[in-house]
Amino acid sequence: ILGSIPLALIGSVAALWIAGQPLSVASMIGFITLTGIATRNGILKISHYLNLAIHEGMPFGRDLVIRGSLERLAPVLMTALSAGVALVPLMIGADAPGKEILHPVAVTIFGGLISATLLDTVLTPVLFLT
C-alpha cells in the first residue's frame, strides 16, 4: 500500500516542473491530498485480494491477483477520473483571480493521480505476489 505513495509523488513533482510551478505550501497540501487518494486505491486492491482468498476460498497465487486486479480496476479508475475531472477548472486559467493558491494544488494532485494510477496498476499486484 505504501509503495504507491512515491509513485504519486514522482508524478506530482514532474507536473509541477512541467507547469513551471514552484514547490510551495499549496503544493504540499496537494501532496497530502494525493497521498490519501493513492493510499485508498491501494487499500481497495489489497482488501479485495484478501476477500477473495478468505471468503471465496481462492488459493493464493497469480490467478487470485489477476482476478482481484481486474475486478478493482474500474473503481480505481473511477476514483482517479472523477478527481481529475474535478481539477480541470482549477488547472485552466491559472492567472484568474482566486486561483493563485488552488492552481498548484490542482497541478500537484492531477500529475500525481496520473502517475499513481498508471504505475500502481502494475506495482501493487507485483508487490502482493512477492
> pLDDT tens digits, residue range 18-48?
999 999 999 999 999 999 999 999 999 999 9
Report the candidate in 119, 41, 43, 35 with the shortest Cα–Cα distance to residue 77. Answer: 41
The model's pTM? 0.88
Domain that holds residue 19: 4-129
Cell of 52: 477473495
What is the average pLDDT across 91-113?
88
pLDDT band at 107 (very low <50, low <70, confident <90, very high): very high
Helix axes 102-129, 4-19, angle to 10 degrees: 150
CATH of the domain at 44: 1.20.1640.10
Number of residues that this document lists for the chain: 130
Report the candidate in 125, 112, 127, 118 with the shortest Cα–Cα distance to residue 5. Answer: 112
The count of structural domains within the chain is 1
| pLDDT the model gives residue 99 | 79
